Amino acid sequence: MEKTEGGRTEKSEEKRVHDASVDYKGRVPLRASTGTWKAALFVLTIEFSERISYFGIATNLISYLTKVMHEDLKTAAKNVNYWSGTTTLMPLVGGFVADAYTGRFYMVLLSSFVYLMGLSLLTMSQFIPSIKPCDTRICQQPRKVHEVLFFFSLYCISLGTGGYKPCLESFGADQFDDDHLEERKKKMSFFNWWNFAMCFALMIGATVVVYVQDFVSWGVACLIITIIMALTIITFYAGKSFYRYRRTQGNPLTPILQ
């Protein structure tokens, strides 16, 4: 068997991934046991559940604000725009922190817990008597404690989304080696499935989740998406030994801010 200059065989070189990624123990990853679809499926799963949760809430939010919290249409539209704008801007912060300090995996993991906290508080606000919205047949103003907790929950979800958007898709792409022909083809397929998962999740969130909100209850809908999110976070963490990680390279803005 032909030797390389370093004394290693060509076959041995092929077994390793040499694209600057490392495994969960900080070593050069083995091609057979890390990355590709065995890792990317975990990433697709958590993206799918996050998009179901987000679109399930966002699609029907103005209806909740007007019918349950008794806000006028102008105020409700303003609150939805504030929340949507914050959600859109948060990835700038999440991407900066991930590049400079945490890395993509830990940013996704941290964002998952913040997101889950927001969903859990949202669910609690629908079931616990002291903080749930008052009966629309009895009162025409929302309980202040419910209003505060509800919006706090929404902005926790915004914060969680800020970590997901700049990191999750890139982390999925990191599981494929661009210098390996077969993996490069799989990477192109990954982006196709990513878009499919996102669109399919949008459809489920905007139809099934909204249907449950309108015809069963918001509490049941929130409970369902919270359970789904919790299960996929556990699944995502369970796949950590299969992932390929990129070391943080620092952010070009860091010296300026310092």
pLDDT of residue 1: 41
Domains of the chain are: 43-242 (1.20.1250.20)
The token pair at 88 is 């859109």
Using CA atoms, how far apart are residues 178 and 35, in angstroms rounded to an integer? 12
pLDDT at residue 136 in the model: 59
Rounded to the nearest integer, the mean pLDDT of the chain is 88
**One-letter amino acid identity for 257?**
L
Q: Provide CB contacts within 8 A for 161, sequence distance 6+.
A: 50, 54, 87, 90, 91, 111, 115
pLDDT tens track of the chain, all 258 residues?
A: 444 454 555 555 568 887 788 999 889 899 888 989 999 999 999 999 999 999 999 999 999 999 888 888 999 999 999 999 999 999 999 998 998 889 999 999 999 999 999 999 999 999 988 888 876 565 666 678 888 999 999 999 999 999 999 999 999 999 999 888 899 999 999 999 999 999 999 999 999 999 999 999 999 999 999 999 999 999 999 999 999 999 887 666 656 655
